[in-house]
């Protein structure tokens, strides 16, 4: 049964952290990274064997296998992937339309900024409990729209749907690799895996920890781990819909977290009952019954209190199941993606609406946001000066002397005429 918190328990609500397990994961990932950096392909084979992943002589999927997968995939599956790809592409193009080079003319000198994509990106596509061709689209298509030339996909267990999604995005490089060892392989390069400039995409706790430890060696999009959902619901919300929304994210992973915040005790109790009904009715993994105990329904005095709690939580997904979502939106500060109104649900964003489902988790929405084409762009500033910019040299020398950097001052002054 999902806990219902009221009164002081609700006001003091904070998600539980499994710090002991986090420490174990941190040490194991550190071991894998050191191993792959040192032993390369031999380490990949070692860890794939140890973790019961598929072991191949060549981690790269061959072109013949990709072509065969695309041919045998039913047309109905191709059609729905094509629709999703089209909307994701259109959304990414719309975001890219705001990016323009900048030039500032100061008369005697000019400054500016250009935006250039990174050269090579690795997209991680989870495929453990569920293969996620949607993630292949969300990551690879977004990178493609930003202008990235080389894109590869990492996935522990390849399937026809992921292969077709890769093809739709113009990707022909798929490595059958997963977990921290896959992240390490693209961070350092091995005999069979080409090094990448960036690693993007969600994954389990091990992949997320690997991204955290490897950041700096390789660029990352964000820390995107097991799924999270927070829902703010008023008395007009539908308890059955709320239950299904919570379970839709809980079914991802035992580490997924689902929270409902409401100012209505009646809605809270009705939703808890609907969760039990849905658990009996739907074909869900057994772990959902166990993990739901670590989630919560929180009853607070007002919707304003709900907003405050959600801002503290900084969830990956946030649904506003309220009559007037626009009224609450200005007060919401920290979330990965927002779904507004009774008829908007996270699964819409997971698949077909267009905005990216690769989102920050674990409170990372306080400082990062959704994957989008801008993530792949590097802002590169430039400056051009003329022999008439004497004041710039003198001003620069003055500031350099403030900091005691005499060579800086000299380098600026040597360009100043008599």
Query: Active-site residues: which are they?
Result: 316-317
d(CA 279, CA 272): 11
Q: How many CB atoms lie within 10 A of CB 11?
A: 14
Task: Judge whether 202 and 88 are in contact, CB under 8 Å.
Answer: no
Contacts of 104 (CB under 8 A, 6+ apart): 110, 111, 112
* Residue count of the chain: 418
Question: Is 303:263 a contact under the CB 8 Å cutoff?
Answer: yes
Rg, C-alpha atoms of the chain: 25
Q: Which two tokens stand for residue 295?
A: 């989630």
d(CA 152, CA 159): 15
* Cβ contacts of 11 within 8 Å, gap of 6 or more: 300, 305
- Cα–Cα distance measured from residue 172 to residue 159, given in angstroms and rounded to the nearest whole number: 14
Distance CA 340, CA 287 (A): 29
Q: Distance between CA atoms of 401 and 18, rounded to whole angstroms? A: 52
């Amino acid at each position: 049964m999902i806990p219902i918190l009221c009164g002081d328990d609700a006001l003091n609500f904070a998600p539980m952290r499994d710090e002991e397990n986090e420490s174990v994961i941190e040490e194991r990932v550190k071991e894998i990274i050191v191993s792959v950096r040192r032993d390369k392909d031999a380490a990949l084979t070692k860890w794939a064997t140890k973790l019961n992943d598929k072991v191949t002589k060549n981690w790269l999927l061959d072109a013949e296998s990709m072509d065969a997968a695309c041919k045998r995939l039913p047309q109905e599956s191709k059609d729905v992937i094509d629709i999703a790809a089209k909307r994701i592409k259109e959304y990414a193009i719309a975001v890219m339309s705001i990016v323009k080079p900048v030039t500032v003319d100061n008369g005697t000198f000019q400054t500016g900024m250009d935006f250039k994509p990174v050269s090579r990106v690795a997209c991680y596509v989870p495929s453990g409990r569920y293969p996620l061709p949607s993630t292949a689209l969300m990551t690879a298509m977004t990178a493609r729209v930003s202008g990235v030339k080389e894109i590869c996909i990492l996935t522990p267990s390849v399937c026809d749907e992921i292969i077709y999604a890769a093809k739709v995005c113009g990707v022909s490089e798929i490595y059958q690799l997963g977990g921290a060892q896959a992240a390490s392989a693209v961070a350092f390069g091995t005999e069979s895996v080409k090094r990448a400039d960036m690693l993007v995409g969600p994954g389990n706790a091990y992949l997320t920890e690997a991204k955290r430890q490897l950041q700096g060696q390789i660029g990352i999009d964000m820390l995107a781990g097991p799924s999270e959902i927070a829902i703010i619901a008023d008395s007009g919300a539908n308890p059955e819909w709320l239950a299904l929304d919570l379970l839709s994210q809980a079914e991802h992973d035992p580490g997924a977290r689902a929270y409902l915040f409401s100012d209505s005790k009646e809605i809270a109790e009705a939703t808890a009952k609907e969760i039990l009904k849905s658990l009996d009715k739907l074909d869900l993994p057994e772990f959902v019954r166990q993990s739901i105990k670590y989630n919560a329904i929180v009853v607070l005095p007002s919707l304003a209190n709900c907003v405050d709690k959600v801002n503290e939580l900084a969830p990956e997904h946030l649904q506003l199941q309220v009559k007037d979502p626009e009224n609450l939106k200005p007060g919401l500060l920290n979330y990965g993606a927002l779904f507004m109104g009774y008829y908007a649900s996270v699964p819409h964003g997971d698949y077909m609406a267009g905005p990216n489902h690769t989102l920050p988790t674990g409170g990372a929405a306080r400082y990062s946001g959704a994957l989008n084409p801008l993530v792949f762009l590097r802002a590169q500033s430039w400056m051009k000066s003329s022999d008439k910019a004497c004041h710039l040299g003198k001003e620069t020398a003055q500031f350099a002397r403030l900091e005691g950097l005499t060579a800086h001052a000299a380098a600026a002054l040597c360009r100043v005429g008599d």
